[in-house]
Amino acid sequence: MNFGTSSLDFSILPYIEGVNPPVTKPNPSFLTDIGEEGIRDLLDRFYMGLFESPIKNIFPTTKEAMNIAGQHSADFFIQICGGPQYFNQNRGAPQMRGRHAPFRITPHARLHWLVTFEEALQPIIENKLSSEENIQSFWNYLNVFSQWMINSKD
């Protein structure tokens, strides 16, 4: 995607089966910039996007259940960005690969997941709620983290 003079790079790293690249957590400044409410808003947009996406079959089937899943995910992202450990307090240790194991996550599903996340990030970008450096850091985390979640071939 081209944002004029933006230096943001939303390219998607290729998935290589059996390779789990190192994950670098996002800059904590991303959370500082948009706040906990900003993370929750981001995840609400993201999960409502997933609700309408081609991979909606691996997510809850009602908007209410999707909202709950989005809030659990927001707790995770607040924690991963250096905020309070809401996820650990409410759900236990993340162990995200194990939590995602019951769902068929393919390289193709990963692409839809990332595109939906990029769309959810647009208000943060357009309203300049965080620096490009911090947004890029968040995207880079998503890009690698999503590779770790793949558990099935196409």
Residue 5 has pLDDT above 70, yes or no: no
Q: Which residues of 31-48 are buried (b: 16+ CB within 10 A; e: fewer)?
A: bebbebebbbbbbbbbbb
**Nearest alpha-carbon partner for 114 in 80, 141, 151:** 141
Q: Give the pair of three-digit tokens for residue 148.
A: 């770790």
**pTM of the entire predicted model:** 0.93
**Nearest alpha-carbon partner for 72 in 50, 53, 94:** 94
| CA distances for 30 relative to 14, 40, 88, 130, angstroms | 25, 13, 20, 6
| CA distances for 133 relative to 12, 14, 129, 137, angstroms | 17, 22, 12, 6
**pLDDT tens digit sequence for 22-78:** 999 999 999 999 999 999 999 999 999 999 999 999 999 999 999 999 999 999 999
Query: Residue ranges of the domains in the chain?
Result: 28-149
Mean pLDDT of 110-131: 97
Are 1 and 10 in contact by the 8 Å Cβ rule? The answer is yes
CATH 3.40.605.10 fits 28-149, yes or no: no
